[in-house]
Amino acid sequence: MINPFGIKESFWSRRKAFLLFLPAFIITVGILVPFGYSVVMSFTDFNLTSGTSNFIGFGNYLKMTKDSEFWNSLKVTLLFTLGAVIFEVGIGFVAAYLLNLGLLGQKLWRTLFLLPVMLPPTVAAIMWKLMMAPIQGVFNYLLQLVGLPVSEWLGSSSTALISVILIDAYVFIPFVGMIFLAGIQNLPKEPYEAAAVDGVSSWFTFRKLTIPLLKPVILIVLLFRIMDCLKHFDIIYAATKGGPASATMTLSVQSYYQSFRWTNMGYSFAHLVVLWAIVYVLSYLLVEKWKKAVREVHGG
């Protein structure tokens, strides 16, 4: 018998499992080889300018422990992640709730709400950079118009981090909101009907029904956004290049400086390996929590 590929069945049967596994294998190798290479290079003094590539053991990692710039980058990365995630999850949830109320022109609102997520993050950053420009930007113009004090936005250490968080929120709130909306629309009706019969308040229903039932969705959103924010590069680099001073210098941006501005590749790889470890640990913890939440909601 001949299979659709024109190969004899006996031959096909023996190799079917291997052929089905092959694409996943190629992709896995394609991911692991560069990753492995990066880990190996993090143990060297690889420098593109001087042409060195000597094995130095944990030299880069030891250097990082004494490097104030590394610790600052770690702090900024965590602050950025915390700020962006709180902002995006909070507003995304509220937006999803509002979009689920069946307001007038709901389809239009949903379309408008989705627009920012269609923009490349770098384009969004440049767009916001122009709007935030202290002299000619529209934000300060509007603030002046209503008699409020103007801001230096991306041009000051005290406001730069919150400004890049705002840009990130603008781009990713729709993504978060849509996941929440899907979660809200899939909530079972029966518990709510029972709550209505018992005459409990909306607030009580929200706390005791909606949040627990949405816990798996919330954890999935947290997983996506925390992973993404920890690795974040494009918006920050396009908006501030890690400045002013080192106010927005995340680990990714610091790594970029070390490699593509200063050609210090070994040290840059060490930064990225540390970043990967942080992302991996946090992701693992969140996935475990998500599994537990799914079991609580659906049983099993």
Partner 1 sequence: MKKYLLLIVIGLILLASSLALSQEDPLAYYKQAKINWRAFEGTQLTIGLNKHPFTESLRPLLPHFEELTGIKVAYVILPEEEFFEKLLIDLSSGGGIFDVYMTSPMFEWRYQYAGWIEDLNQFWNNPELTDQEWYDRDDFYEKPLRANMWDGTIGGGLGQGRWNAIPVMAEFFCQVYREDLREKWGLTVPTNYPDLLTTLTKAAEMGKKETPQVYGVANRGIKSWSTVHSGYFTAFSTYGQKDINPDLTAAINTPEAKGITQIWVDILQKAGPPGWPNYTWYDAKQNYAAGRFYEITDCDFFAATYENPAQSVVAGKNGYALPAAAPDGNITSNMWTWALGMSSFSKYKEAAWLFLLWATAPQTMLDGTLIHDNFNPTRKSVWENPAVIEKTMKWGTEPGQYRKIVDDMYAMYGDIRWTPNPDVTTVGDIWAEALHEAYEGKKPVEQALEDAAAKINEWMTKWKK
Alpha carbon distance 207, 40 (integer Å): 49
**Site for partner 1 (CB under 8 A): which residue of 59, 262, 276, 282?**
262
Q: Which is nearer to partner 1, 69 or 91 (CB)?
A: 69
Does position 243 interact with partner 1 (CB under 8 A)? The reply is yes
Q: Which is nearer to partner 1, 134 or 191 (CB)?
A: 134
Does position 111 interact with partner 1 (CB under 8 A)? The reply is no
Alpha carbon distance 233, 229 (integer Å): 9
The size of the interface with partner 1 (CB under 8 A), counted in residues, is 31
**Site for partner 1 (CB under 8 A): which residue of 241, 282, 283, 294?**
241
Q: Which listed range, 6-14, 35-43, 45-53, 111-119, lies at the site for partner 1 (CB under 8 A)?
A: 45-53
Q: Which is nearer to partner 1, 179 or 265 (CB)?
A: 265
Classify 211 as helix, strand or coil.
helix
Considering only residues 117 to 136 of the shown chain, the ones binding partner 1 according to CB under 8 A are 129, 133-136
| Residue pointed to by tokens 């079917």 | 16
Considering only residues 48 to 87 of the shown chain, the ones binding partner 1 according to CB under 8 A are 48-52
Considering only residues 174 to 233 of the shown chain, the ones binding partner 1 according to CB under 8 A are none
Q: Which is nearer to partner 1, 205 or 263 (CB)?
A: 263
Radius of gyration of the chain (CA): 25
Cis status, amide bond into 244, omega within 30 of 0: yes
- Residue pair 279/227 in contact by the 8 Å Cβ criterion: yes
Alpha carbon distance 255, 270 (integer Å): 9
**No. of H helices and E strands in the chain?**
13, 0
**Tokens encoding 39:** 């880990």
| Residues forming the site for partner 1 (CB under 8 A) | 47-52, 129, 133-136, 150, 152-157, 160, 240-246, 257, 260-263
